[in-house]
Homo-oligomer: A and B are copies of this chain.
């Protein structure tokens, strides 16, 4: 066996890679040889391949020069696919698998099954706190059970980490900060879980607050990780301004103490500590104007102190905080976009180098592209693979140039469909039916119909309002279904049916607004059924009726923009929400460990907020009424209550009542918890505000720059690519595919193209690839000029290196690849 040739070939590939990443040590090459030697003997490498390609590769024991080269091409495809994946996921190249064993681990750890397992483990660990003491009453589990579950989950995490260790290698693993933190936390949790299992009782386990790390590290939580990174990047300027805020607070606390402490009836400034706490709470406005009142009733001019303080702290520095975060956020967003873009470009460069042959160093043929795609998107049909190639190959040249290939990420998400000859779904129906449907279609699309529906919705809205106002005595569920409900529902139902028949189900459901209409109508229908059949637990569906009114906002362009943006922002908002929940979780755990069961009805009698915790029977006239302060409900008795309490703290109003209640039952130091929480949520909330500001200002700038409304409802197509396929091309491609991967199932789609041509009798078919527009597309258009500069800068920095790697490839054995064209 020509070990040397395989060695050189493999080393070549990896050396190329070395040249581009500058991370590798040359000593690895010798280790490769050993690896390959054992692998060649065992043939286990192909089994790993099999995991990714459903079609069987060449038999592993078939040994010839040609086969080994074929195998080396397959390796190249796979590596290119990995590079492209890394580019897509923004994985750094220094975690790129460096040897076959690493590759095996990499492939094992990079598929949806594994990701799902990661996610489930993370969620399981977090959900456990519902059942651990202090548990939600209905979900309480025995210590045995939840400790065992925890150990199981931790073992899973340990297994995942082992796979990562195998894939990254010890050296990289040690240097990868996130992974190291995860490992440490894992060890800690392991020890603790075992201790719990042995002692049969939970000790003070504040470290549970670290559990979200396992979730955050999941592949699927990339957005949360990015959010966290952005938060940390915004921190330095934020902390600077925060210090300014605290500094003014201390100065004013000293002033306030000096001015107001002589007034004995003023509980807010009687000690310096109280003074500082009062002013801290005052920044959140939660104790205003109460904090001012004792001083104000003594001397009217004391209001000046509070007005000056609030003007400086609340109206100036807090806004400054927002400005600084907004500015940093802006910069970070642009930098992120830039680095992502260049990372993708670099990934494409790497992949391109792996796909070109020595004879044609400047182009990728269809065969190579197809080989790549089989690894990159194993589930993609052969037709789509071919169409993607066509979409990239805009020049119509026999090969893809590097410039063509740079568009890779733009075309990869396209959904391909043959362009229909007609416009309507009912074009093929008999004439009479066609006319009926055509009529409905015209009706549904007419302005008159739309505005009639708006009027109906408006009338419905007024009706509901008046109706609700009429039954001021209180709403009761057990009433008859009002006839107006049935009338309006019928109208909506007819509208939905007309639209579905007129536009065709596909066109109808592709619009977000229609989907919204449809679901509201279906809900209303379900509500009717629940009312009719008296299914009490589902009554709440009935009250969703007023949501129909939201349709009215379609009338004005600005609202459409706002609501569309809202929908578009939703994924990002959700990830920000998730980030917030992760912070909540950690704080909830800490809160539960320290403050579980400390507040209860009629507690906190020593504090100034005792009234809010009161629960006594009061006799008014001859009725006994329960006089409740209710604040004992804002406790940390289990994780769900803690979440609600933390949400209340986030909204800030009256948060000091919860703080003072807990403080009066524990120690002064508890305030630290609440103040820290306030500052943390302030950071996250400021980021959220900055995000919304940024997103909207970006959109408005965009639509101003491009002089077009961003999301015209008529123009919901997003990005469209076109590819025309001729009969000969399709036949040639089918032939080629049959040769390279003889599995028939994946070729069905390509044969379908030929069949469609036969049916329509034309010699070519035009396919349209569509995908929705993403923020990245908008940014591409916004920063058009800057992007060219970045690219120029990037290629200045990287050109010599990629040239060098090309030269090094000249040493490789030329793979005898049968080209389609030859």
- A contacts, CB < 8 Å to B: 237, 240-241, 244, 247, 250-251, 254-255, 257-259, 261-262, 264-265, 270-273, 285-290, 293-294, 296-297, 300, 303, 307, 310, 314-316, 319-320, 322-324, 326-327, 330, 464-465, 468-469, 472, 474-477, 540, 542-544, 546-547, 549-550, 552-553, 556, 558-559, 562, 566, 573, 611, 626, 628, 630-631, 633-634, 640, 644, 647-648, 651-654, 685, 688-689, 692-693, 695-697, 700
Determine whether the beta carbon of B250 is less than 8 Å from that of A465: yes
Determine whether the beta carbon of A648 is less than 8 Å from that of B300: no
Which chain B positions have C-beta within 8 A of A542? 258
Indicate whether A543 sits within 8 Å of B254 (C-beta atoms), given known contacts A476-B262, A693-B319.
yes
Which chain B positions have C-beta within 8 A of A472? 271-272
Determine whether the beta carbon of A297 is less than 8 Å from that of B654: no
Determine whether the beta carbon of A464 is less than 8 Å from that of B688: no
Complex Cα spacing A552 to B559, Å: 49
Indicate whether A630 sits within 8 Å of B319 (C-beta atoms), given known contacts A556-B240, A697-B326.
no
Indicate whether A241 sits within 8 Å of B562 (C-beta atoms), given known contacts A272-B472, A323-B692, A469-B272.
yes
Determine whether the beta carbon of B696 is less than 8 Å from that of A324: yes
Closest beta carbon of chain B to A253's beta carbon, Å: 9
Closest beta carbon of chain B to A354's beta carbon, Å: 39
Closest beta carbon of chain B to A307's beta carbon, Å: 6
Closest to A626 in B: B265
Q: Which 5 A-B pairs have the closest CB atoms?
A: A293-B630, A323-B696, A285-B653, A258-B543, A319-B692
Indicate whether A310 sits within 8 Å of B240 (C-beta atoms), given known contacts A259-B540, A474-B261, A696-B323.
no
The number of times this chain is found in the oligomer is: 2
Complex Cα spacing A653 to B330, Å: 31
Closest beta carbon of chain B to A506's beta carbon, Å: 31
Which chain B positions have C-beta within 8 A of A573? 316
Which chain B positions have C-beta within 8 A of A465? 250, 254, 272
Determine whether the beta carbon of A648 is less than 8 Å from that of B475: no
Complex Cα spacing A105 to B177, Å: 78
Which listed residue, B287, B543, B556, B693, touches A323 by the CB 8 Å rule?
B693
Complex Cα spacing A748 to B432, Å: 103
Determine whether the beta carbon of B289 is less than 8 Å from that of A322: no
Determine whether the beta carbon of B244 is less than 8 Å from that of A651: no
Closest to A472 in B: B271
19 A–B contacts, CB within 8 A, in A order: A237-B558, A247-B549, A251-B547, A251-B550, A255-B543, A255-B546, A262-B474, A262-B475, A285-B651, A288-B648, A289-B648, A289-B653, A296-B630, A297-B628, A300-B640, A303-B644, A315-B685, A320-B692, A327-B700
Which of A475, A556, A573 counts the most chain B CB atoms within 10 A? A475
Which chain B positions have C-beta within 8 A of A319? 688-689, 692-693
Closest beta carbon of chain B to A124's beta carbon, Å: 24
Complex Cα spacing A562 to B241, Å: 9
Which chain B positions have C-beta within 8 A of A272? 465, 468-469, 472
Closest to A318 in B: B689
Complex Cα spacing A626 to B293, Å: 14
Given contacts A315-B688, A316-B692, A327-B700, list 7 more A-B pairs with CB under 8 A: A244-B562, A251-B546, A254-B465, A257-B468, A258-B468, A316-B573, A324-B696
Determine whether the beta carbon of B546 is less than 8 Å from that of A696: no
Which chain B positions have C-beta within 8 A of A258? 468, 475, 542-543
Determine whether the beta carbon of A653 is less than 8 Å from that of B474: no
Which listed residue, B261, B289, B689, touches A475 by the CB 8 Å rule?
B261
Which of A626, A651, A689, A697 counts the most chain B CB atoms within 10 A? A651
Determine whether the beta carbon of B696 is less than 8 Å from that of A259: no
Which chain B positions have C-beta within 8 A of A549? 247, 251
Determine whether the beta carbon of A322 is less than 8 Å from that of B693: yes
Closest to A307 in B: B647
Complex Cα spacing A364 to B772, Å: 62
Closest to A250 in B: B465
Which chain B positions have C-beta within 8 A of A303? 644, 647
Determine whether the beta carbon of B259 is less than 8 Å from that of A296: no
Complex Cα spacing A552 to B243, Å: 12
Complex Cα spacing A100 to B300, Å: 55
Determine whether the beta carbon of B254 is less than 8 Å from that of A651: no
Indicate whether A254 sits within 8 Å of B540 (C-beta atoms), given known contacts A310-B651, A558-B240, A630-B290.
no
Determine whether the beta carbon of A654 is less than 8 Å from that of B290: yes
Determine whether the beta carbon of B288 is less than 8 Å from that of A653: yes
Closest beta carbon of chain B to A260's beta carbon, Å: 9
Determine whether the beta carbon of B562 is less than 8 Å from that of A320: yes
Which listed residue, B323, B324, B653, touches A286 by the CB 8 Å rule?
B653
Determine whether the beta carbon of B244 is less than 8 Å from that of A553: yes
Closest beta carbon of chain B to A249's beta carbon, Å: 11
Closest to A330 in B: B697
Which chain B positions have C-beta within 8 A of A477? 262
Which chain B positions have C-beta within 8 A of A314? 651
Which listed residue, B326, B628, B652, touches A693 by the CB 8 Å rule?
B326
Determine whether the beta carbon of B289 is less than 8 Å from that of A654: yes
Which chain B positions have C-beta within 8 A of A241? 562
Complex Cα spacing A322 to B688, Å: 13
Complex Cα spacing A240 to B477, Å: 35
Determine whether the beta carbon of B476 is less than 8 Å from that of A696: no
Complex Cα spacing A125 to B231, Å: 52
Closest beta carbon of chain B to A549's beta carbon, Å: 6
Which of A244, A254, A296, A626 counts the most chain B CB atoms within 10 A? A254
Complex Cα spacing A644 to B305, Å: 12
Determine whether the beta carbon of B630 is less than 8 Å from that of A543: no
Closest beta carbon of chain B to A570's beta carbon, Å: 10
Closest beta carbon of chain B to A524's beta carbon, Å: 14
Closest to A300 in B: B640
Determine whether the beta carbon of B546 is less than 8 Å from that of A254: yes
Which chain B positions have C-beta within 8 A of A559? 240, 244
Determine whether the beta carbon of A633 is less than 8 Å from that of B553: no
Closest to A632 in B: B297
Complex Cα spacing A247 to B562, Å: 14
Complex Cα spacing A743 to B298, Å: 63
Closest to A467 in B: B254
Complex Cα spacing A633 to B289, Å: 10
Which chain B positions have C-beta within 8 A of A692? 316, 319-320, 323
